[in-house]
Amino acid sequence: MRLGVDIDGVVADTFPLLVGELNKFFQVDLALRDVNDYNIFKVYGLNEAEILQFLGAKEKTIMEGPAVKDGAVECLRVLDQKHTIYLVSARYEKYRPQTEEWLRKHAVPYHGLVLLGSHDKREVCRRMAVDLFIEDSLKNAHQLSACGIPVLLFDAPYNQGELPSLVRRCHSWEEIISLIESGFPDCKLGKEAGL
């Protein structure tokens, strides 16, 4: 199977780092559970100038500093034995050196790395014939599933909402492995599967 895997929020535990850095930079006190929108800057009420100021000051920390999501590397190693893994991220191409270094440092297995500079992953996933995508953005999950690509959605405070029939919410990498090994996405979907 050809797997598409997002980086931030799925392999890299980026959002806790972002919350911490935004809190320090703007002297506020939000918790990750308060981030109820994938656009974290919207949650903080930042304008474009403030976003650019923050990114200019914290770019290196954001690209190089996230911890690895619990279980990600171990589970990706298991998947790597039977499947082709493409990391597909909304990160900009200019961050390829930092992204590749972070992936090397944490020994993340993958066969291809696509940095889109955009959150719309539909076209590249169709072109690469991705069979299943592992994502944390609810909007991306809706878009990909509308194209017929099943999605395992990594649960987060910012991605709550109704799920299409081809999307299954997961709470850990171990659950993702279990679902894939049990036949997802070929297993029964919808009401029969308790979605």
For residue 188, what pLDDT is reported? 40
CATH number at residue 186: 3.40.50.1000
Domain residues for the domain of 175 are 2-13+67-193
Q: What is the chain's pLDDT, residue by residue, as a tens digit (195 residues)?
A: 999 999 999 999 999 999 999 999 999 999 999 999 888 999 999 999 999 999 999 999 999 999 999 999 999 999 999 999 999 999 999 999 999 999 999 999 999 999 998 889 999 999 999 999 999 999 999 999 999 999 999 999 999 999 998 999 999 999 999 999 888 876 444 333 333
The last residue of one of the domains, among 64, 82, 105, is: 64
- Pair (91, 158) in one structural domain: yes
**Predicted model pTM:** 0.90
Distance CA 151, CA 190 (A): 13
For 98, the token pair is 């930092």
Cβ contacts of residue 159 below 8 Å, gap of 6+? 38, 136, 137, 138, 141, 153
Q: Looking at the structure, tell me whether residues 182 and 103 fall in a common domain.
A: yes
- Both 185 and 122 in one domain: the answer is yes
- Pair 30, 43: CB distance under 8 Å: yes
C-beta separation of 132 from 185 below 8 A: yes
Question: Which helix (DSSP H) or strand (DSSP E) does residue 135 occupy?
Answer: strand 132-135
**Total domains present in the chain:** 2
Q: Are residues 31 and 85 in the same domain?
A: no
Looking at the structure, tell me whether residues 172 and 189 fall in a common domain. Answer: yes
